[in-house]
């Protein structure tokens, strides 16, 4: 096993930098620092915590260009999308600085006591295991509520974005935050389980694959520790017969290609009712063909490379296996003869159950079109998945679409006439094999607290 973590530029295939893996001694020191920091931070006021979060937001904006460049170099994020991601981190820190105290204020409950109420107390050190696809947003959407609640954090980031991980720690420290509020650990995923076993880790949050989620859930369960898991998704987008097709195409193309298609909540299975399927398909394929891929620093390109060659190869394998089982390729579906981990916008139709494009998550710029007989059949297909992270319904009959989204669509995030996206005002998370627990909003800040009853008589 290598004693280095390697960052490789997915656009050029060239190594950027290698990072020494942190030793057991380094990890032990980090755990002790976190424990010491928590002892003081838990006693800080909401006003004091809010001031720190606002300083971090200011430091993020000050370093925006550096952060965007790092993400583009390490995982291929298109520059324009990098700017959006970094700004979203800053606004979410400010959101919790403004609202955290209200979210966690004591709740008085009338009983036969002189006084009885619920109070919310921090748990301790939260181990945060994060993926590479949104190297800043995934971290800060967990960090902001957890730290505003009085916890501290150890970050085990994906190994291919170690530069981003270290930049996060540096920015927090440069904002005059207490030392140890967040510490980055450069360790392989195989060492995460031993950290969860450590008594100084109070809870764990993971964004990643369903397979990784099972391992973390097992370790957390064995140790009776709270866990929040945001895992894979195969989001369905239902195009009903009364949909505005131009709007439907715009929503699904953007939803499919955001972050070069490497998003848990991307539009992956497009379920179109039979009466409009052919016309939608024609327009959708035209728009996908017009989307340009290439150098992510060129803002003319909406799609950059995939983060790693193995991810690109796995996506291509899923596409080819689906074709062998009867799917029809309408565009893309090949590995370009160029440097970098590029994959063109790809569309498959005639997709059926039993094909990878139907049953599995396509984590890249490839979409599956599935025909449904009618709205009822479309809902059946949409829910016919092991996942339940997000989904969308596109229709001019908003009342009908809202009822389907609210009552029938089996997912944690259901959007009508828009693509699924996270917002600090709203809870975010999934059901089924997309995980459990919620991030963001008032629900997210209450995940890593002791919801304590106080009864006085």
Label the pairing between strands 115-122 and 107-108: antiparallel
Residue 119 lies in a domain: yes
Give the model's confidence band at 150: pLDDT under 50 very low, under 70 low, under 90 confident, else very high. very high
Same domain (yes/no): 223, 254: no
CATH number of the domain bearing residue 159? 3.40.605.10
Give the range of the structural domain holding residue 269, as residue numbers without chain letter.
Answer: 235-416
Mean pLDDT on 342-352 = 98
Question: What pLDDT score does 3 carry?
Answer: 87
**pTM of the shown model:** 0.97
What does pLDDT average to over the chain?
97
Same domain (yes/no): 452, 379: no
Write the pLDDT tens digit of every residue in 241-291.
999 999 999 999 999 999 999 999 999 999 999 999 999 999 999 999 999
Question: How many structural domains are present in the chain?
Answer: 2
> Quick one: CA torsion of 62, 68, 71, 73, rounded to 10 degrees?
-120
> Is there a contact between 171 and 89 (Cβ–Cβ < 8 Å)?
no
Same domain (yes/no): 370, 224: no
Which amino acids are annotated catalytic?
230, 264
Residue 427 lies in a domain: no
Residue 266 lies in a domain: yes
Same domain (yes/no): 179, 102: yes
Same domain (yes/no): 452, 388: no
Same domain (yes/no): 277, 291: yes
Same domain (yes/no): 196, 217: yes
Same domain (yes/no): 24, 150: yes
Residue 438 lies in a domain: yes
Mean pLDDT on 304-312 = 98
Same domain (yes/no): 56, 119: yes
């Amino acid at each position: 096993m290598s004693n280095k973590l390697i960052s490789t530029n997915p656009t050029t295939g060239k190594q950027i930098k290698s990072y020494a893996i942190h030793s057991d001694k380094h990890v032990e020191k980090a755990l002790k620092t976190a424990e010491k920091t928590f002892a003081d931070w838990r006693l800080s006021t909401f006003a004091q915590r809010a001031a720190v979060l606002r300083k971090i937001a200011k430091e993020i904006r000050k370093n925006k260009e550096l952060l965007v460049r790092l993400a583009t170099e390490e995982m291929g994020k298109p520059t324009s999308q990098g700017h959006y991601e970094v700004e979203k981190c800053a606004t979410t820190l400010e959101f919790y600085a403004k609202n955290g105290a209200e979210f966690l204020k004591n709740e008085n409950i009338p009983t036969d006591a002189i006084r009885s109420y619920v109070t919310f107390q921090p748990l301790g050190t939260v181990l945060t295991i994060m993926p590479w696809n949104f190297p800043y947003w995934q971290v800060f959407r967990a960090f902001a509520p957890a730290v505003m609640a009085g916890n501290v954090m150890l970050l085990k980031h994906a190994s291919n974005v170690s530069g981003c991980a270290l930049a996060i720690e540096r920015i927090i420290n440069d904002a005059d935050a207490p030392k140890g509020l967040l510490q980055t650990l450069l360790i392989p995923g195989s060492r995460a389980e031993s950290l969860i076993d450590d008594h100084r880790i109070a809870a764990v949050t993971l964004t990643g694959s369903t397979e990784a989620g099972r391992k973390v859930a097992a370790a957390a369960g064995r140790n009776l520790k709270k866990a929040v898991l945001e895992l894979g998704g195969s989001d369905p987008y239902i195009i009903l017969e009364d949909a505005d097709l131009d709007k439907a195409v715009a929503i699904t193309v953007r939803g499919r290609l955001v972050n070069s298609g490497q998003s848990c909540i991307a539009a992956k299975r497009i379920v179109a009712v039979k009466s409009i399927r052919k016309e939608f398909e024609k327009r959708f394929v035209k728009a996908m063909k017009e989307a340009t891929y290439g150098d992510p620093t060129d803002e003319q390109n909406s799609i950059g490379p995939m983060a790693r060659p193995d991810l690109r190869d796995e996506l291509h394998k899923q596409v080819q296996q689906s074709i062998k089982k009867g799917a029809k390729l309408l565009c893309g579906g090949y590995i370009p003869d160029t440097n970098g981990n590029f994959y063109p916008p790809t569309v498959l139709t005639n997709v059926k159950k039993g094909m990878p494009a139907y049953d599995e998550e396509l984590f890249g710029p490839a979409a599956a079109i599935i025909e449904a007989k009618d709205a009822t059949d479309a809902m059946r297909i949409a829910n016919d998945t092991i996942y339940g992270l997000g989904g969308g319904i596109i229709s001019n009959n908003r009342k009908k679409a809202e009822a389907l989204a609210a009552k029938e669509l089996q997912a944690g995030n259901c959007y009508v006439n828009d693509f699924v996206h996270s917002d600090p005002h709203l809870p975010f998370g999934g059901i089924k094999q997309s995980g459990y627990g919620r991030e963001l909003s008032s629900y997210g800040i209450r995940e890593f607290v002791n919801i304590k009853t106080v009864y006085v008589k």
